[in-house]
A = this chain, B = another copy of it.
Amino acid sequence: MNQQFKNKQILLTSRPVGLPTEQNFEFKEIPVANTQDGQVVVRTLYLSVDPYMRGRMSDAKSYIPPFQLNEVIAGGIVGEIVESKSDLYKVGDKVIGMLGWQLYNTVDAKTVTKIDESIAPVSAYLSVLGLTGLTAYFGLLDIGQPKEGETVVVSGAAGSVGMFVGQIAKIKGARVVGIAGTDAKCEYLKKELGIDAVINYKTAKNLGQALEEACPNGVDVYFDNVGGSISDAVMNLLNDYARIPLCGAISSYNSTDGDMGPRIQTRLIKTRSLIKGFVLSDYSARQSEGLQELGKWLTEGKLKYEETIVDGFDNVIEAFLQLFQGANLGKMLVKVSDSE
């Protein structure tokens, strides 16, 4: 009966060297897999493209296994149940899960989670009430531990994680300095999110000096989404006992030249600072706590979120590649189809 649906999927066909290109991927039309007992068919509504996925396209050891060649790429997806052989879901339910980049996923019902449209629109479960909101929440509060009046610097401040880092730091009473790559993003951060000071790293004549002016009391927490020369500059301003949650290093993901920069050890010793890499799965036991807090702030109007939505499954790769040009304000999503 699945013949009513035509499926299309995206395969990784070669491993990128440096920046990925369309040539590393292939679109393939196939029939939708038949459902077994306990399974559901999920039609993709929104699909999340994220910088961390670049890591999975390489064949290197990391916290999640690399994508396999000639297999479908997987990521965060919200979708709608269009067929169900499970008591858990009925047709029309909205769910979220780590699913394949395809129009339809036939999966065990237990691998997806139901979402509540009364709290927020479905796409929000791919950002503020999903991976990126939770990543900001745990990285900032567990590792960064900002205290009232402290200075928090966040790079990639208008990105899908950074946007929540700045707002949560403000909620906790910190002074927040955001670094972003366009004037429009900087303006958004200041006007819409109330970030205290913003720096456009692309137009700043001297990033170090701009940071120094924006952080007259030094830096207590640096939430690092980007790595590279931006992070080099922040390191010079660390206060004693600074905390640095390492969330991403997008500037290094496509590096093929060894990613050289000034070593940071001496600075960390002098300031007795802490750096810690983390991924959201480190906090899976506390996920409901995070979702509860984020949902509360959202309904109280304390937390805003923003989406950059690219339309159409055929544009998934382009949307993914745009991440590395910093094209997105907030979460970059692809709208694949409308709810029925």
Of the candidate stretches A161-169, A179-187, A247-255, A314-322, the one touching chain B is A247-255
- Shortest beta-carbon distance from A154 to chain B in Å: 15
Chain A 213-244, CB-CB to B under 8 Å as 1, else 0, gives 00000000000100110011000000010000
On whether the beta carbons of A272 and B278 are closer than 8 Å, the reply is yes
On whether the beta carbons of B228 and A263 are closer than 8 Å, the reply is yes
Q: Would you list which residues of chain A between 26 and 65 have a CB under 8 Å from chain B?
A: 55, 60-63
Contact of A262 among B247, B259, B275 (CB under 8 A): B259
* Interchain CA distance A258-B262 in the complex, whole Å: 6
Q: Would you list which residues of chain A between 49 and 94 have a CB under 8 Å from chain B?
A: 55, 60-63
Contact of A266 among B252, B265, B278 (CB under 8 A): B252
| Residue from the set A246, A266, A272 with the largest chain B CB neighbour count within 10 Å | A266
Contact of A272 among B228, B261, B277 (CB under 8 A): B277
- Shortest beta-carbon distance from A160 to chain B in Å: 16
- Shortest beta-carbon distance from A107 to chain B in Å: 27
* Interchain CA distance A325-B182 in the complex, whole Å: 49
On whether the beta carbons of B282 and A277 are closer than 8 Å, the reply is no
- Shortest beta-carbon distance from A171 to chain B in Å: 25
Q: Would you list which residues of chain A between 253 and 289 have a CB under 8 Å from chain B?
A: 253, 258-279, 282
Name the B residues within 8 Å of A252 (CB-CB). Answer: 263, 265-266
Contact of A259 among B62, B266, B271, B278 (CB under 8 A): B266
* Interchain CA distance A262-B265 in the complex, whole Å: 12
- Shortest beta-carbon distance from A118 to chain B in Å: 35
On whether the beta carbons of B278 and A275 are closer than 8 Å, the reply is no
* Interchain CA distance A272-B269 in the complex, whole Å: 20
A/B interface sample: 10 pairs, CB < 8 A: A63-B271, A249-B265, A249-B269, A252-B266, A261-B262, A269-B278, A272-B277, A272-B278, A272-B279, A274-B276
A-B contact sample (15 more), CB < 8 A, given A248-B269, A258-B262: A224-B265, A227-B266, A228-B263, A246-B269, A252-B265, A260-B261, A260-B262, A260-B263, A265-B277, A268-B275, A268-B277, A273-B276, A273-B277, A274-B274, A274-B276
